[in-house]
Amino acid sequence: LRIYQRAQDAMIVPAGWAHQVCNVRSCVKVAMDFVSPRSLEKCVAMAEEAR
């Protein structure tokens, strides 16, 4: 899956999805981690598995 984002686009990556970012030109990136209540249990399990 390949997605091209433009200015003001947002991307939500579900818990457990591996992803990679490649900037095709110079840019400023603003990132924020967010865990919804629905994904909390899976995120905790993945964090403990990674330890």
Which pLDDT band, with edges at 50, 70 and 90, does 33 fall under? Answer: confident
- Rounded to whole angstroms, what are the CA distances from 13 to 26, 28, 29? 22, 19, 15
Which is more confident, 49 or 29? 49
Query: Is 23:15 a contact under the CB 8 Å cutoff?
Result: no
Mean of pLDDT values over 37-45: 89
pTM passes above 0.95: no
Q: Phi, psi (5° rounding) for residue 49?
A: -65, -35
Residues 3-23, buried b or exposed e (16+ Cβ, 10 A)? eeeeeeeeeeeeeeeeeeeee
